[in-house]
Amino acid sequence: MMLEIIPPAEIPKPFRAMEDFYAAVWPIYDGPNWREQWCEGEFFGAPFWFSFEIASFEGELHYYVRILKIFRDLFESTLYSHYPNMEIIEAEDYTQKCPRIFPTKSTIFTARTIFL
């Protein structure tokens, strides 16, 4: 599932609070042992993983986390314990908002020549 993290306008806590948060959620990231990796073919981070992502839409930053549903309560309670004013909402996949067609060098060059 994807969660959007909306931080408060001002955070007076030191960086150490965020380091404590990462240390608390690190056990979720269960790497495979030797047998799981070489005999069962499990890749690093499977089956439990999470990712923190930052996306910008028209200059506005958004912070996302992808996490398994079973760990949502652990993640939220850990984050709220350090940052009680933070908002966490369930979000849809932001990659669907990205354009499907990107401009090529020729269209960028043409646009530049028009503005010159």
- Assign 93 a pLDDT band (cuts: 50, 70, 90): confident
Residue 43 or 14, more confident: 14
Helix, strand, coil abundance in the chain, percent, nearest 5:
40, 20, 35
Render pLDDT for 39-57 as a digit per residue (tens, 0 to 9): 777 666 556 678 889 988 8
Q: Look at the chain and report how many structural domains it folds into.
A: 1
The whole domain housing 51 covers: 2-115
Determine the Cα–Cα distance for residues 29 and 52; give it in Å rounded to an integer. Answer: 12
**Model-level pTM?**
0.67
pLDDT value of residue 97: 73
